[in-house]
Amino acid sequence: KNQVEQSPQSLIILEGKNCTLQCNYTVSPFSNLRWYKQDTGRGPVSLTIMTFSENTKSNGRYTATLDADTKQSSLHITASQLSDSASYICVVSARSGGGADGLTFGKGTHLIIQP
């Protein structure tokens, strides 16, 4: 069964500090891995998407890494800001004939940035 496990479940850090969120998956055959940010009361918004051949991708202060051999990904947030407070969801896509079918969502990491 395809699964995506995220850790930690929740995290509190001070503004300006860095943090790293983890995602482990058992999705096969692997197609791509996505990180989404979900603000409270909002829908998820895409941060990054990585395919098998990509092992790092940045989007501003967000840097995602992918190790397809160990089936692990991380999302690193640099110099955190209050607006980074949100849930971060890891989503893994299984390869198929096309489209975004076969998506497996993690439960998310709830991040709180304190001033």
Partner 1 sequence: EAGVVQSPRYKIIEKKQPVAFWCNPISGHNTLYWYRQNLGQGPELLIRYENEEAVDDSQLPKDRFSAERLKGVDSTLKIQPAELGDSAVYLCASSPGGRVLHFGNGTRLTVT
Report whether 102 contacts 34 (CB < 8 A). Answer: no
Shorter beta-carbon distance to partner 1: residue 17 or 42: 42
Shorter beta-carbon distance to partner 1: residue 61 or 107: 107
Report, in Å, the least distance between residue 51 CB and partner 1. 10
Binding site for partner 1 (CB under 8 A): 4, 32, 34, 41-46, 49, 89, 91, 98-101, 103, 105-108, 110
Report whether 88 contacts 111 (CB < 8 A). Answer: yes
DSSP letter string, 19-61: EEEEEEE--SSEEEEEEEEE-TTS--EEEEEEETT--EEEETT
Shorter beta-carbon distance to partner 1: residue 65 or 108: 108
Report, in Å, the least distance between residue 106 CB and partner 1. 5
Q: How far apart are CA 36 and CA 46, in angstroms?
A: 4
Report, in Å, the least distance between residue 43 CB and partner 1. 3
Shorter beta-carbon distance to partner 1: residue 18 or 58: 58
Report, in Å, the least distance between residue 113 CB and partner 1. 19
Could you count the other beta carbons within 10 Å of the beta carbon of residue 29? Answer: 10
